[in-house]
């Protein structure tokens, strides 16, 4: 089952370069996926379990410009019984030209036991899963390097914390953007994003982010109380 919707970005969705910000892109995709979930009447949380985001992958062909209406298509793929499922996205403009595509990986988690649980065939089937995928291959695996270029503390704000009581998933990308060299941040030439969430960051945590250069961009590693929580890779068009 494909779910589609139109979205007219708000002024607050844009950055100083006049482009749709990376955080806004993730929020727009996340909200489209949530509305699809509501449409199929997925009341999974009522059963003591919840969908938890574990991986984001976004590839930007053309960065959406200011006041450009977006058309978002999303669908679910994977199989059941399993503990994870994938949600894919394609975003186009009014002329049906592709702007970007993305994929999110979710785990079904037992809230009380704090561990992954199986997705039933009934729950998975309610989404009308498709065989299509946004990408033909898996994203390259992210690994900690032996050395880092920079390390800096991250000061958590109250506004970074979501309704689950930990840092919202889109905020991690902002932490990475703040850790970029000034020239790369101002150039705003991002073409690819990959985020792997290993553990949630709590409000009371002492957080730091470490950066390492990669072939075509940077990798960031976020630590809370010394524990690796999130890995982020940004590809940048020079």
Distance (Å, whole) CA 204 – CA 49: 25
Name, in order, each residue with C-beta under 8 angstroms of 159's C-beta and a sequence gap of 6 or more: none
Asked whether 218 and 211 are in contact (CB, 8 A), the reply is: yes
Asked whether 206 and 225 are in contact (CB, 8 A), the reply is: yes
Asked whether 44 and 123 are in contact (CB, 8 A), the reply is: yes
For position 91, what pLDDT does the model report?
96
Considering the segment(s) 3-125 as one domain, its CATH architecture is Roll (3.10)
For position 43, what pLDDT does the model report?
60
Distance (Å, whole) CA 207 – CA 188: 25
Give 220-238 pLDDT, tens digit per residue: 999 999 999 999 999 998 6
Give 136-150 pLDDT, tens digit per residue: 988 888 989 889 999
**Third-level CATH fold of 150-236:** Thiol Ester Dehydrase; Chain A (3.10.129)
Check pLDDT > 60 for residue 217.
Answer: yes
Asked whether 78 and 32 are in contact (CB, 8 A), the reply is: no
Do strands 190-197 and 98-110 pair parallel, antiparallel, or not at all (unpaired)? unpaired
Nearest Cα neighbor of 199 from 220, 224, 175 is 224
- State CA 180 to chain mean position distance: 18
Asked whether 61 and 111 are in contact (CB, 8 A), the reply is: no
Distance (Å, whole) CA 75 – CA 3: 6
Check pLDDT > 70 for residue 45.
Answer: no
Instruction: For the beta carbon of residue 190, count every other beta carbon within 10 angstroms.
Output: 23
On the question of a cis peptide bond just before residue 5, with omega within 30 degrees of 0, the verdict is: no
Check pLDDT > 90 for residue 170.
Answer: no
Residues of the chain with CATH 3.10.129.10: 3-125, 150-236
Distance (Å, whole) CA 177 – CA 23: 10
């Amino acid at each position: 089952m494909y779910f589609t919707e139109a979205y007219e970005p708000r002024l607050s969705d844009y950055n100083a370069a006049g482009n749709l910000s990376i955080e806004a892109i993730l929020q727009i995709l996340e909200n489209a996926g949530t509305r699809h979930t509501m449409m199929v009447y997925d009341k999974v949380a009522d059963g003591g379990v919840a969908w938890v985001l574990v991986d984001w992958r976004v590839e930007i062909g053309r960065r959406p410009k200011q006041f450009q209406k977006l058309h978002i298509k999303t669908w679910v793929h994977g199989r059941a019984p399993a503990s994870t499922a994938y949600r894919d996205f394609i975003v186009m403009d009014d002329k049906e030209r592709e702007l970007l595509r993305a994929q999110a990986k979710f785990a079904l988690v037992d809230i009380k036991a704090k561990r992954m649980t199986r997705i039933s065939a009934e729950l998975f089937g309610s989404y009308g899963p498709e065989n299509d995928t946004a990408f033909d291959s898996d994203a390259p695996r992210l690994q900690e390097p032996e050395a880092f270029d920079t390390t800096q503390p991250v000061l958590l704000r109250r506004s970074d914390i979501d309704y689950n009581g930990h840092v919202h998933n889109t905020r991690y990308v902002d932490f990475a953007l703040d850790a970029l060299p000034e020239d790369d941040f101002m150039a705003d030439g991002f073409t690819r994003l990959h985020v792997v969430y290993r553990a949630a960051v709590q409000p009371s945590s002492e957080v730091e982010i470490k950066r390492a250069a990669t072939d075509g961009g940077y990798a960031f590693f976020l630590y809370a109380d010394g524990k690796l929580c999130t890995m982020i890779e940004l590809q940048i068009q020079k």
